[in-house]
Structure 1
Amino acid sequence: MSNMSPAKHLLVVTMLFLSLSMAVTTSQSSVGRTMSKEDIGLKTEKLTHFHFFLHAIISGPNIDDVNVALPPPTSTTPAADALFGRVDVVDIPMTIGPNISSERIGSFQGVVAGVSPVEELTYFMEVAFIFTEGKYNGSTLVMLGRNQATMKLRELPIVGGTGIFRFARGYALTRTYSPFDTKTGIAIYEYDLYALHY
């Protein structure tokens, strides 16, 4: 290539580049393929409704809602009192009834972040409902969205799932059943999930 003119050299380099680009494009297009639902055993879509309670233990010996980050303090709001920027990790029991001793059906696990001033009590939630009983054992539903706790009834989207709930979509309705009790350290939330899945 040392005896080539600059124009021929550029042409050869361009041809090599185009050949390589075509090879990469060809190999990438073979990565995916169109399938039918039947190819992976998906049958009729159905709607499932769940009703249960969460017991958030925020203080005491058996905490299941742990603060992992606080925002830096400002001149007007000490960090301990600030909600905006607060991040908690949760592993909260899901039970059939509002009493913490009622039958446990799973866990509510994920990350909850404060996205508003304290007076608005708004959180962004990225959590999984992990079922541990009956035919749903080992399956999960994932919820992702904004939860404004000052509203009586809140709606959040169900964006996916695993196990029985592969390809799931739907919504969750939640309400505060019992606000945080400083004596017990517990807040109780009631959930209704509506999930479309196969």
Structure 2
Amino acid sequence: MASRPSNPSSLLFLFLFMTISGIAAQKTTHLHFYFHETVRGPDATSIVVASLHKNSSTFGDIHVFDNALRDSADPSSKLIGRAQGLAASSSLADLSALTAINLVFTAGELNGSTLTLFGRVAEVTGTVDRSIIGGSGLFRLARGFVLSRTVVGSTATTVVAEFDVYVTHYY
């Protein structure tokens, strides 16, 4: 049987200390970069790994990807990381997908840190809002959101999306 603390005020002090310490260590960071995906051809960075349909439906299709994260929309701009994850076509009514993405940073002060995103993509042409559900490295205990939108100039072979990341984390 577990013993109970003899002094409830010491428990209150510990709770207040942990709360104040946690708030002081919190930081909010805004990141801005571009997601570059190639969906066709020999250098594809996104592929369908499961599809049960022989017709035009995409429901149930599963895509995996390993896309470049760059500091601008230019495909030759500086590589800052990778977006690695999967998307599952999850609607009978439209082209929406459930996405799970790890943003893996490979350059600068964020090198070795990650952010984990989860969310629904309903329209490729509108703004997509995803949740940040965790992170590692500089982004331990991360939470926040990501807004992304397709950049003009994307083609049938490539998709470029602008990402605005708003993340609260401890560091």
Task: Indicate the structure whose relative CO is greater, using CA pairs within 8 Å and at least 6 residues apart.
Answer: 2
**Residue 160 of structure 1: which of 129, 134, 138 is its match?**
134
What is the CA–CA distance in structure 2 between the aligned matches of 1:127 and 1:150, rounded to whole Å? 16
8 Å Cα contact 2:132-2:142 kept in structure 1: yes
Higher helix content, 1 or 2: 1
The worse-fitting range, judged by mean Cα deviation, of 141-150 and 96-105 is 141-150
Q: Distance in 1 between matches of 2:106 and 2:127?
A: 26
Pick closer, same or farther for the CA change 1:44–1:96 going to 2, 3 Å: same
Query: Can you give the 5+ residue segments of structure 2 that lack an aligned partner in the other structure?
Result: 3-13
TM-score by length of 1: 0.71
Task: Name the residue aligned to 2:160.
Answer: 188
Instruction: Note the alpha carbon deviations across 1:116-153, whole angstroms, 9 max, x for none.
Output: 24x73211001100001111100000001111125611
What SS is found at the alignment partner of 1:135? helix
Could you tell me which of 43, 46, 52 is aligned with 1:71? 52
Identify the residue that residue 66 of structure 2 maps to in structure 1. Answer: 91
Q: Which residue of 2 aligns with 1:106?
A: 81
Residue number in structure 1 paired with 2:6: none
Residues 66 and 84 of structure 2 are in contact (CA less than 8 Å); yes or no, is this contact kept in structure 1? yes
Structure 1 pair 180–69 and aligned structure 2 pair: CA distance change class (3 A): farther
For residues 47 and 99 of structure 1, what CA distance do their matches in structure 2 show? 27
Tell me the distance in 2 between the aligned counterparts of 1:168 and 1:178.
30
Q: Which moved further from structure 2: 43-52 or 103-112?
A: 43-52
For 1:95 and 1:177, how far apart are their aligned partners in 2? 13
How far, CA to CA, are the matches of 1:150 and 1:93 in structure 2?
A: 18
Greater strand percent: which structure? 2
Give the aligned CA root-mean-square deviation in angstroms: 2.5
Among all aligned residue pairs of Structure 1 and Structure 2, give the percentage whose two residues are the same amino acid.
Answer: 33
| Cα shift at 1:154 | 1.6
Equivalent of 1:124, from 98, 109, 113?
Answer: 98
Equivalent of 1:135 in 93, 109, 120: 109
Query: 2 CA distance for matches of 1:149 and 1:179?
Result: 17
TM-score normalised by length of structure 2 = 0.82
Give the length in aligned residue pairs: 157
| Residue 180 to residue 87, structure 1, CA distance change in 2 (3 Å) | farther
- Distance of 1:163 and 1:114 partners within structure 2: 31
Distance 1:166 1:56 in 2: 27
